[in-house]
Structure 1
Amino acid sequence: MKLIALLLIFSITAFGQNSLHLRLQDANKEALPFATVLLKKTTDSSLVKGMNTDENGELRVTKLPLGKFTLTLQSTGFKPTKIALDEISADTQIELGVITLQPLSTELAEVKVTATKPFIEKKLDKTIVNVENSAMAAGNTTMELLERSPGVIVDKDGNISLRGKSGAAIMIDGKISYLSGADLANYLKNLPADQVSQLEIMANPSSRYDAAGTGGIINIKLKKNSNIGLNGSANATLAQGVYSRQSTGVNLNYRKNGWNWFGNGSVVNRKMLERNNLTRYFRAQNEVWENGFAFKNENQTTQLKGGVDWYYSKKTTVGILVSGNINQFTLRDGLNQTVQYTSAGTALTRLNTFNNVGNPSHNYAANFNFKHSYDSTGRELTIDVDYARFVDNSGSNLRSQFQRGDFSTLRADSLLLNNANSLVDQYSFKLDYVLPSFLKSKWGTGLKSSYVKTDNDLRFQGKNDGDANFTFLTGQSNHFVYTEQIHAAYLNSERAIGKFSYQIGLRGEWTVADGLSQAYTANSKDSTFHRDYAQLFPSAFLQYDLSKNHSLGLNYSRRIDRPSYGDLNPFVFFLDNYTFKVGNPMLTPQLTNSVELNHTYMGAFSTILGYSHTTNVITEILKQDTQARKSYQTSANMAERTNYSLGFSLPIPIAKWWSTNNDIYFNRAELVGKVENANLSPVNNQFYISSNHIFTLPKAYRLEIGGNYFSGGLESAFVFGAGGALNLGVQKTILNKRGVIRLNAQDVLLTSNPNVFIKYGDLDIIVRPRQDSRVVRLNFTYRFGNMAIKGARERATGLEAEKSRVKSK
């Protein structure tokens, strides 16, 4: 009510009793209905009021502000017209009569239709990767697309870092994904890049976004067609790595009479060879343990998404969006081999673990959204209500075969059965309001509340060969329930004052979380925890235009990363008897302060100097029971991590038919912490370069050559070595520009799998992952229906931050 009263007082004191009248028509003297009329200040061209002509092309308005102004008249397909007005007083009557707008030239219209966006665009607060027309994107997965994006590095486990900072949050259509860890990696590996239109990479997001994601945010914008009538596209891909892969997909859209129905779907069948070799040195015991496996993983995924937008009026839109995903992961007869050697190379014992896994999972989500635009100045209200459910049911059996060094039987085989059932329910309400002209600034404010409940039940059974029945293993089984509420509010303000512009914001979040771990051991006491805390997250973006071609910017943000739901889960997941993973319910959030200074030349060439400091760092670590020769992975809070970075973005046009985008980064990462009794302080300097070249050739051919190289890096507490990739792509447009054939090859030299080095305390380990990353793909895409250009409505649901944290294993 205070805000409404303030607006009323402002309008009464600032506007006089005056009027303006005009009528717009085209060269044929036909009225131009619903044309845009913008009233701007003469001094700085700032927008004061936006208006529209009526169905007869007329505009009548009273109570204009006092002072000197200009009018800008705009209508689709016509040249904008600018009119300088005499100084407006309290009783000025302005009669402009009939104004004829001139059409855009045919040549200009053709350019607008056929021009393509550059593959990489640089904006003030983000980097945009335009995926839709890239030959190297066709037939790839979204994870592979991220791997070749500027400043992005994906490690062997699918963890994503941005400009050397780990913990990047993933958004889908403006909403933080609730998946995390292995589940998020699996989703991105099964999401075809053909369904992606853009990637938005934000190293320092504003307070408008959820505060989660200390490593920045990557927003994956999926395709949605809003052309008039019935239209869409279909695509199919054949790929060959070690094994063959297939995918097919379709996008449909129907828009008519104020309704827009849309949907897309895909079916993906991926078979991959996952290889890994691990060497563990036990120096004091004069032993070396070699571990290796080569698993044939099969993923079959079906994804569906559909919705409708109802344009109730020109200013109000109501929409419903539903989506779903069904996935079946299968591993048959996977063999993991571990050999215990003396330092002289004599084999002492052998462990063969035969692994079979069946992991069906599915999820579905629904979103109701409302948008109301009060006027053409950009004042609007948006509301999102969301619900999502994730179901993951995993079953596996591990047969362990124990042998002496000479392959004779050491003891009877053991068999371990495990069933893990995970259920995640998420609810969210989000409201955003934009006031484009208040107190000479643009304001944005909003609220969000979310509630999440996870229910995880893990049960183990075991027996030895010769035993009649399986025994329920109460000590290893567990039931974990976690609930979390997050309530948030934010306020943003932005303004341009001559050569200076700014955006400042503040976001507050209140979190209440409860965890209950129930053991199956008789008379055991349940473990519980309760957390209740509030945090403030300021952000600031400053820019000063030194000249027409040079601008300086300074950005600051404070962000939070909460533990993923899976990392809080105390479950144990086995690779074999000596190697496993366990959760940590005592994890607490980490906080990051980031600062960036940047210089931009000609709106394209940029230099970025960055600094970030993270406290209470959530870090993946390895712990070791040296006496039992067991190593296990878990997450813990380290003391602090500091990152320094220097980056250059160089989009260089070499010729009219040859364009390049080049990114160079220097990163330094310092981690300080303690693992049990061992001090941990790894430091790493990294050099990263990415270069992509696009050649526009005659006869509708397009060639792309790109690649990247990194000298190594620090991911969590692990140091990884050098790596990179060379990627090639070619495409040709056919069938009257409705069909496109694309051929691409990824990681041609098979160099994208760096070694990982872990050395602290008693740990001395080298990991040599060899993923199935060299793949050749042939893709065909065909567009059908009406291709008349019509802008799509962008929207984001409210569950994105929570989705990024779903992690069942």
Structure 2
Amino acid sequence: MKSILITLMFYGFTQQLNAQITGMVAAEGGEKIPFANVLLLQAADSSFAKGGLTDDEGRFLFEEVEKGRYLIRISNLGFSTWISQPFEIAGPDIPRDFGLQTLHAEAIQLEGLEVRARKGLLQQQAEGTVFNVEGSVMTRGSSALQVLERSPGVFIDRRNNDISLNGQNGVLLMINGKQLRLPVAEAVNLLSGMSADNLEKIELLTAPSAKHDAEGSAGIINIVFKKNDLEGTNGSFSLTGGHGWGPKGAGSFNLSRQRGGNRISGGYAFSYDETYSDLHGMGSEIVPALGGDLDFDFKNVSKRIRRSHQFSLGLERDLAAHSAIGASLSYQFSNDGSGAFNRSHYEIDPDSMVNIRVNIAGQDKWNHLVSNVFFEKQFDGGAKLKLNGDYLHYRHQNPTLAGNQYSNGRGEPIYPQGGLYAEAIKGHSRTSIHIGVLKLDWEKTFSSGIRLETGLKGSYAESANLGSLERMEQEEWVADERSRTNLRVTEGIGAAYSSVYLPLGTSANLTLGARYEYWDQQFDDTTPGRRFGKLFPSLFFSKRFSEETQLRFSYTKRITRPDYNDLASYLAYNDPISVYSGNPLLKPAISNQFKGGVQYKTANFSAWYGYTDNPIARYQIVENAGSDLVIISPQNVDWQRTYNVQADLPVDFSKWWSANFGLIAGYNRFKLSYTHEPVEESFWACGLNGSQTFTLPERWSLELSGWYVSRHYNGSVKVGGFGMLNAGVKHELKNGRGSFQLSVSDLMGSMRITSHLGTIGNDAFLVKADVVYRAESAVAPILKLTY
């Protein structure tokens, strides 16, 4: 080791007479790997050129390297093998530094059990869990949203187009490390039309480091698509056909070419989906506009045809002096048609009834463009610089037409008075978002093993939201001024961060980080602007006691800012006595989380405590100032406290039977003040997920997977438990000619979600109701065949 250090010092202060190759090897948690096997191979035929081991600090060095084209191969027991891309040594005065390379944990033999030697479905990292969906039979032919729904701890609220992680709202969504800067409802629609055929993994980061945006009090979900780094020209395609309530179809095609340091890739995907859902609610409330106490029975049936197309293009080029540039472009558009039927029955007293029938036709058009350019450079001495520029554009149009019919208990037509009781209502909605982002990151690993990361980021966004309702009066369309919205919002966020990784001996490390963000959001109406800065610290500690046991601890502070849809003052028609609206008085949610965990072999156990001030609960029921109209809007919960435990266990029972099991369980307590009386409530909740894979003869495999979410609360709404069981079978054809995959979603037809209103406190109009939502798969299992 002393000779290596002396050589490194000499290299730093004298001119090189012969080319050198250097680098450092670490595990996923950041701890350095000593005595790893490092080989220098000829790129042409992978023949041996040089070999060696890493030192106590995980460093390696090859000296006297002649001109030529080479590969680096790094391996170590218990870790996956890392192989570099081919690279050139052009002369003795041009050294090559590979910086820090991370090896992923692999198999360990247990007594009586064989824990997986290939990449497991779930992997634990310092920042959270990685869900490797690429190997799942259920992935191909699915949308990105469907795959995300099967991720451990993730709940997709399809009724309200919302996403939560480990029971908490406020999630930052990213695609390939780029923030998806859309309101959550818009992001859900986007992911539902995005093909998952080339999806590699989903990163569930519950304790993100300072280099990530502080947005997302519950954490970050990063959806990562595959990148083909193979030399030469490579391509792949897939086709899917299926049926549930209605027909399904999907297809994708990808092509890449790499020669030397030049890479180009492109792809296209489409999806077609005729889908269905229904909603049935029964209860009672006090409605002054309808005469007081009444019972109601409500039914909604929604049918939608989704048509989505995706295009992607990427270019990369390696430059001299260890530099690279690149650009990428992704474009997605959809033109959906929808139809809905609402039936409402109000019984005011035994002799007074009102029946309302509403038919709604709509069209949903959206376009989403994401572009990126980057430059990165690796300096001698272990420093790296990366500059990224992004431009994003999103456009959404949603015209609707609702026809209303009113009748009494005898079926005779009636004509209630008031603007919201119109014979027909026409809606217009148009949203446009433009976003520019510039980001600079710098990283350096010092000879002592200390690693410093720092960077700057700035983003600027402009959004416009135009919406209105018109009602039919005496065969003429009359604008409803209460519902008119013409809102323009500008938002700027500036950030600076720094993080330092400190090795503490050979078996422990500490990472300290801090991120400062300044937020400036302004509206062109009476909505008050927001302008403030805040510091978000983070801490990560890791200690390895043996080859099999590792301890981790982390602390993070994060924020969830309300988006412009949450804050906008508008009215959108729901029914004659209720409307949707934003809440300009919403506050950002601030969360603090303390988490500790232990990894024993491949099993992971953790516990965490989190408290959040002003968490945002969407689609809550409040009254207007005159107490004659229900406002469905986002509201701030006063606070929420969470105590959770989590376990993840990937195991191979035999060579042909492997499984993953996961559990999240805990105690939650929160306080509400937007109900008629302030109220505190507590509850126990759990989430279960699991999958089993059976490798059968003749290249067949079978997968069973499922998940369950127990009873929980969304603000004042109590939500019953629900889950889903899925199955898939795969057959690999001979000679690499592809595979067939058959999948069935929701085998038991169990995707039914029951919500209970009025169980805590008193909501608007003292409503008490039970509402049952059925997804398409609860009506008919969804069957898909993919090649």
TM superposition score normalised by structure 2 = 0.84
- Structure 2 distance, partners of 1:314, 1:281, is 73
Q: Which amino acid aligns with 1:537?
A: F
2:610 is aligned with 1:612: yes
Quick check: 1:780 aligned with 2:786?
Answer: yes
The residue aligned with 1:545 is: 544
Which deviates further from its counterpart, 30-39 or 473-482? 30-39
- Whole-Å Cα distance in 1 between the matches of residues 40 and 226 of structure 2? 34
Aligned to 2:415: 411
Deviation, structure 1 residue 379:
2.5
Q: Structure 1 CA distance, aligned partners of 2:386 and 2:560?
A: 26
CA distance in 2, matches of 1:511, 1:35: 54
List per-residue Cα deviations over 1:517-569 (Å, max 9, x = no partner).
2xxxxxxxxx1422221100011111112233222111100001111221122
Partner of 2:285: 282
Partners of 1:51 and 1:558 in 2: CA distance: 43
Letter in 2 for 1:617: P
Tell me, in whole angstroms, the C-alpha distance in 1 between the residues paired with 2:321 and 2:49. 12
Does 2:305 match 1:303? no
What is the match of residue 784 of structure 1?
none
- The answer for the alignment partner of 1:364 in structure 2 is 369
Identify which range, 134-143 or 478-487, moves more after superposition.
134-143
Structure 1 residues 223, 716: closer, same or farther in 2, change over 3 A?
farther
Kept in 1: contact 2:163–2:184 (CA 8 A): no
With over 3 angstroms needed to count, the CA separation of the structure-2 counterparts of 1:29 and 1:232, relative to structure 1, is closer
Q: What amino acid does structure 2 have at the position aligned with 1:45?
A: E
CA gap 1:50/1:426 in 2 versus in 1, 3 angstroms: farther
SS in 1 for 2:147: helix
Tell me, in whole angstroms, the C-alpha distance in 1 between the residues paired with 2:767 and 2:362.
Answer: 29
Corresponding residue of 1:45: 57
Deviation of residue 166 (structure 1)?
Answer: 2.0
Cα pair distance change 1:33/1:470, threshold 3 Å: same
Q: Secondary structure at the match of 1:678?
A: coil
Rounded to whole Å, the distance in 2 between the matches of 1:494 and 1:243 is 53
Whole-angstrom CA distance in 1 between matches of 2:368 and 2:153: 31
Q: CA deviation at 1:224?
A: 2.3
Equivalent residues of 2:458, 2:493 under 8 A apart:
yes
> Per the alignment, in what secondary structure is the counterpart of residue 132 of structure 1?
helix
Equivalent residue letter for 1:611? Y
- Pick aligned residue for 1:162 from 165, 172, 181: 165
CA RMSD of aligned residues (A): 3.1
SS in structure 2 at match of 1:139: coil
Q: Deviations over 1:726-767 (max 9, x none)?
A: 111110111412311000111111113221122231232322
In 2, Cα distance between equivalents of 1:256 and 1:565? 45
Could you tell me whether the CA contact under 8 Å between 1:619 and 1:638 is conserved in 2?
yes
Q: Alignment partner for residue 426 of structure 1, among 416, 435, 444?
A: 435
Task: Give 1:629 deviation, angstroms.
Answer: 6.8
Q: Secondary structure at the match of 1:409?
A: coil
Partner of 1:695: 694
Distance 1:29 1:488 in 2: 42
Q: Describe the shift of the 1:18–1:309 C-alpha distance in structure 2 as closer, same or farther (beyond 3 A).
A: closer
Cα distance in structure 1, aligned partners of 2:343 and 2:64:
75
Structure 1 residues 168 and 34: alpha-carbon distance in aligned structure 2, compared to 1, 3 A threshold: farther
CA distance 1:779–1:226, shift in 2 (3 Å): farther
Quote the residue 1:384 is aligned against.
Answer: 388
Using the TM superposition, give the Cα deviation of residue 439 of structure 1 relative to its aligned residue in structure 2, in angstroms: 6.0
Q: Is the 8 A contact 1:669 1:714 kept in 2?
A: no
Q: Which residue of 1 aligns with 2:138?
A: 136
* 1:331 matches 2:338: yes
1:665 is matched with which residue? 664
Farther-moved stretch of structure 1 (136-145 vs 640-649): 136-145
TM value normalised by structure 1 = 0.82
Structure 2 SS opposite 1:204: coil
The C-alpha deviation readout for 1:339-370, integer Å capped at 9, x for no partner, is 102577x7710111111111211121221111
Structure 2 residue 209 is the aligned partner of structure 1 residue 201: no
Structure 2 SS opposite 1:410: coil
Most deviating of 622-631 and 745-754: 622-631
| In 2, Cα distance between equivalents of 1:677 and 1:665 | 33
Question: What CA distance in whole angstroms lies between the structure 2 residues aligned with 1:389 and 1:27?
Answer: 45
Identity of aligned residues (%): 22
1:5 counterpart residue number: none
The amino acid across from 2:357 in the alignment is: N
Residue 653 of structure 1 corresponds to which residue in structure 2?
A: 652
Structure 1, 501-510 or 624-633: larger mean CA deviation: 624-633
The counterpart of 2:276, out of the listed 262, 265, 273, is 273
Letter in 1 for 2:358: T
1:377-433 deviations in whole A, cap 9, x for unaligned? Answer: 752111111111111122111122111122111117522112112111101100111
* Structure 1 residues 247 and 323: alpha-carbon distance in aligned structure 2, compared to 1, 3 A threshold: same
Alpha carbons of 1:775 and 1:265: their partners in 2 closer, same or farther (altered >3 Å)?
farther
Q: Residue in 2 aligned with 1:252?
A: 255
Superposition deviation, residue 257 in structure 1: 4.2
CA distance in 2 between counterparts of 1:28 and 1:687 reads 53
What secondary structure, in the 3-state scheme, does the structure 2 residue paired with 1:411 have?
coil
Q: 1:51 to 1:508 in 2, by over 3 A?
A: farther
Counterpart of 2:514, as a letter, is L
Aligned residue type for 1:441? I
Secondary structure of the structure 1 residue equivalent to 2:155: strand
- Is the CA contact 2:170–2:616 (under 8 Å) kept in the aligned structure 1? no
Question: 1:363, 1:391 within 8 Å by CA — same for their partners in 2?
Answer: yes
Question: Who is 1:473 aligned against?
Answer: 480
Give the number of equivalent residue pairs: 706
SS at match of 2:446: strand
Q: Match of 2:347, SS?
A: strand
Are residues 17 and 230 of structure 1, via their aligned partners in 2, closer, same or farther at CA, if it must alter by over 3 Å?
A: closer
Give the conservation status (yes or no) of the 8 Å contact 1:37–1:53: no
Measured after TM superposition, the shift of residue 646 of structure 1 is: 0.8
Q: Distance in 2 between matches of 1:26 and 1:564?
A: 51
Deviant stretches of 4+, over 4 Å: 11-40, 49-55, 77-80, 283-286, 625-630
Residues 1:493 and 2:500 are matched in the alignment: yes
Q: Distance in 1 between the 2:598 and 2:637 partners?
A: 34
Deviations 1:21-59 (A, max 9, x none): 69999999999999899996x5x3243x8677655269x
3-state SS of the aligned residue for 1:351?
strand
Equivalent residues in 2 for 1:586-735, closer than 5 Å: 586-602=585-601, 604-620=602-618, 621-624=620-623, 630-675=629-674, 677-735=676-734
Q: Label 1:401 to 1:315 Cα distance change in 2 as closer, same or farther (>3 A).
A: same
Any conservation in 2 of the 1:683–1:714 contact (CA below 8 Å)? no
CA contact (8 A) 1:33 1:54 kept: no
Structure 2 counterpart SS, 1:117: coil
Structure 1 residue aligned with 2:748: 749
SS at match of 1:145: helix
Aligned mates of 1:30, 1:568 — CA distance in 2: 60
C-alpha separation between the residues in 2 aligned to 1:250 and 1:558? 41
Partner SS for 1:405 = coil
Whole-angstrom CA distance in 2 between matches of 1:440 and 1:613: 34
Give the aligned residue type for 1:609.
A
Aligned to 1:127: 129
Classify the secondary structure of the residue corresponding to 1:659.
strand
Counterpart AA for 1:319? G
Q: CA deviation at 1:152?
A: 1.8
Please give the alpha-carbon distance, in whole angstroms, between the structure 2 residues aligned to 1:38 and 1:585. 63
Indicate how the Cα distance of structure 1 residues 38 and 528 shifts in structure 2: closer, same or farther if over 3 A, else same: farther
Task: Give the conservation status (yes or no) of the 8 Å contact 1:358–1:396.
Answer: yes
Answer whether contact 1:432 1:445 (CA < 8 A) is retained: yes
Give the 3 Å change call, closer, same or farther, for CA 567–38 of structure 1 in structure 2.
farther
Would you say the 8 A contact 1:381–1:432 is kept in 2? Answer: yes
Instruction: For CA contacts below 8 A with separation 6 or more, give which structure has more relative contact order.
Output: 1
Matched, 1:239 2:250: no
Secondary structure of the equivalent of 2:242?
A: strand
Deviation at 1:628, TM superposition (A): 7.2
Q: Which moved more, 1:347-356 or 1:557-566?
A: 347-356
Residues 171, 218 of structure 2: 8 Å contact kept: yes
Partner of 1:803: none
Does structure 1 conserve the Cα–Cα contact (< 8 Å) formed by 2:661 and 2:689? Answer: yes
Residues 160 and 34 (structure 1), Cα distance of their counterparts in 2 relative to 1, 3 Å cut:
farther
Alpha-carbon distance between aligned partners in 2 of 1:664 and 1:627, rounded to the nearest angstrom? 47
In 2 relative to 1, CA 534–151 (structure 1 residues): closer, same or farther, beyond 3 Å?
Answer: same
8 A contact 1:335–1:354 mirrored in 2:
yes
For 1:516 and 1:623, locate their aligned partners in 2 and report how far apart those are by CA, in whole Å: 26
